[in-house]
Structure 1
């Protein structure tokens, strides 16, 4: 062995690369009967549509746009749930319309050709470059009661209640000895407070669809001895129709019936 090599196994070369065997294993399951499980529940799956307009400026002159890659990113998806009285299970699942607030952006990577100065009347030399820009959007949409596949569990309101104790005190000098000051003690404060740690809904992005239209607003002919139909620009106006599908979920307790597994 080379004394300079302190590793007893060369991890860059596998010691064994053969076929592995497998066999059925018997899973351990909960006993038969009704069980409560805490799982994500799909509240709604909705397709949202909106329109975007943006002005994009390029750092170099653009001969033509070669390709645009787009990705929709959601940074906020919040279902604005109203609170209900504490412990009212019927009101917690009452069907009602709720607003869904959405915020995000479209990440655009624009690949374009930038003209080089050594163009001739027959040829235009160019360099391929790219520009990445984020086009933001923000909107709110209303989900009616019928739009929910499963009603959301509304949060229980926290409660705070004060209480006092009766106290009788002497009135002091100038008052009959048998008279007393009857009331509560202002030097003491008593309260019962209850907090509920409710489950907040969250979203998953399922799919997106974008229809866009880009137009140069400052295109002019190439300078010098270049073909007459060629031009360059620095600014474009972009109009997009954005459509994406989100899945709204919430962790809830669900009653399920546990059964036996079929024979393996």
Structure 2
């Protein structure tokens, strides 16, 4: 009989091991009226930006195969204490296209030799909009202030003045100031969704040599029109009062 049948299998734990929970821990919950600091949604709005630009390729293009787009927001600033929202960003475009081979002689009356290339460009845009209605009012910034103060001094007058008189003034050799600074919470944004409708067309298309197939040509520049719709959330960290009435008995009931 083979000894292999009686060999005991042992499991070696290197990086990952199974473990099981023995019991559920009950977190400590503060009861009553509590003040917490959380992001508060000030507004949620959909903006539309219209873009008209031209894109020049580094080589001749037979046709565009595919375009992948991605929205990139680089600035989203609510200019407190106003309700103006400034937005800047780019539309990242990766354009996949067919380019004729450098050896044009490979083209025939029924075929065109080409290579598949790609070009990535950033199309910039910017806009300013007005938030007409806030879901929650923003906490307006507190203004810094500075105040100067002086101390009274009396000094004897030089010759030419009566001996009983004195110079009553403030000391020019000293400077005194009380200043106060506030470190306000700056609103910020989150990008929720985007939708891009585009129209690209060549503006310098030329036909290939007469030996190529009918209606084949190449271009290096396209004119692009885009309508970009995107949804943003504008938030600000604020102190909020909440009320908690959960007790240990309710927590046990929820867990069971």
Alignment TM class, shorter chain as reference: 0.7 to 0.9
After superposition, what is the alpha-carbon deviation per residue over 1:187-242, rounded to whole angstroms, capped at 9, x for unaligned?
22111000001111111111110000000111122114111122211111000001
CA distance in 1, matches of 2:79, 2:26: 41
TM-score between both structures, scaled by the size of structure 2: 0.86
What's 1:93 paired with?
A: none
State whether residues 31 and 244 of structure 2, in contact with CA within 8 Å, keep that contact through their aligned partners in structure 1: yes
User: CA 1:20–1:221 in 2, change beyond 3 Å: closer, same or farther?
Assistant: farther
Q: Does 2:160 correspond to 1:174?
A: yes
Q: Does 2:108 correspond to 1:109?
A: no
State whether residues 167 and 183 of structure 1, in contact with CA within 8 Å, keep that contact through their aligned partners in structure 2: yes
Q: Does 2:222 correspond to 1:223?
A: no
Q: Post-superposition shift, 1:133?
A: 0.7
CA distance in 2, matches of 1:132, 1:189: 59
CA distance in 2, matches of 1:170, 1:17: 88
CA distance in 2, matches of 1:214, 1:237: 6
State whether residues 58 and 131 of structure 1, in contact with CA within 8 Å, keep that contact through their aligned partners in structure 2: yes
Q: Does 2:84 correspond to 1:99?
A: yes
CA distance in 1, matches of 2:126, 2:237: 26
Q: Post-superposition shift, 1:65?
A: 0.6
CA distance in 1, matches of 2:236, 2:113: 56
Q: Post-superposition shift, 1:35?
A: 1.4
Unaligned runs of 5+ in 1: 1-12, 83-96
Q: Post-superposition shift, 1:23?
A: 5.6
Equivalent positions of 1:205-244 (< 5 A) are 205-244=191-230
| Residue correspondences, number | 236
Moved more, 176-185 or 127-136: 176-185
CA distance in 2, matches of 1:17, 1:81: 51
After superposition, what is the alpha-carbon deviation per residue over 1:11-61, rounded to whole angstroms, capped at 9, x for unaligned?
xx9737665434653243342111111111111111010100111111121
TM-score between both structures, scaled by the size of structure 1: 0.83
What's 2:111 paired with?
A: 123
What's 1:88 paired with?
A: none
Q: Does 2:20 correspond to 1:49?
A: no
Equivalent of residue 125 in structure 2, options 128, 137, 162: 137
What's 2:170 paired with?
A: 184
Q: Does 2:144 correspond to 1:158?
A: yes
Q: Does 2:81 correspond to 1:78?
A: no
What's 1:251 paired with?
A: 237
State whether residues 221 and 228 of structure 1, in contact with CA within 8 Å, keep that contact through their aligned partners in structure 2: no
CA distance in 2, matches of 1:100, 1:36: 29
Once superposed, what is the RMSD of the aligned Cα atoms? 1.9
SS of residue matched to 1:130:
strand
